[in-house]
Amino acid sequence: MEITTKAFGVIKINEEDILNFIGPILGFEDIKQYVVLHDQNNPGPFFWLQAVNSPEPAFVVVEPGTILADYHPVFPPEELELLEIDDQADLRILLIVRIPENIKDISVNLKAPVLINARKGLAKQVVLEDKRYSVRHYLLPAAQGGETRVGTESESR
């Protein structure tokens, strides 16, 4: 099937690759189907989570293991049950990337990951109660001190 994308124009996708969201991405409640796309000309850790029926929305996403070694949230069992995840090997986690005008402030949302049942093609964004994770975890070192900045809860409001 062909879809129109924000980043790649009109492309062909396999219908088996479509993710059916059983819960929406926050702010996009009417969009229920997405596909994960990778830019073949620009290999790297980032992907696109592209709406199937419209060029918008399209989110830049990343798997947590490629950027963070210590991201180990505990997901509510009822969320995993909704996604029909019986085997942890079927669970794929994507983090939505925020790319602001000043690229130095690039961040990922650790608070609300997208969970995917890779075997069944089911997906849902889950908001975690864990206070260790924020909606803005900065990926690049701060201008001063050379440390990775971690967004605070007050920044996320």
Residue at 43: amino acid letter: P
Architecture category of domain 2-150 in CATH: Roll (2.30)
What tens digit of pLDDT does each residue of 143-153 get?
Answer: 333 444 444 33
Please give the Cα distance from 27 to 25 (Å, whole number).
6
The pLDDT value recorded for residue 142 is 65
pTM of the predicted structure, to 2 decimals: 0.87
Give, for all 157 residues of the chain, the pLDDT tens digit: 999 999 999 999 999 999 999 999 999 999 999 999 998 888 789 999 999 999 999 999 999 999 998 999 999 999 999 999 999 999 999 999 999 999 999 999 999 999 999 999 999 999 999 999 999 999 987 633 344 444 433 343 3
Q: Give per-residue pLDDT as tens, 89-108.
A: 999 999 999 999 999 999 99
Question: What is the reported pLDDT for 146?
Answer: 41
Identify whether the C-beta of residue 113 lies closer than 8 Å to the C-beta of residue 93: yes
CB proximity list for 22: less than 8 A, separation 6 or greater: 82, 83, 122, 123, 124
Domain-by-domain residue ranges, the chain? 2-150
Sign of CA dihedral 103, 149, 110, 30: negative
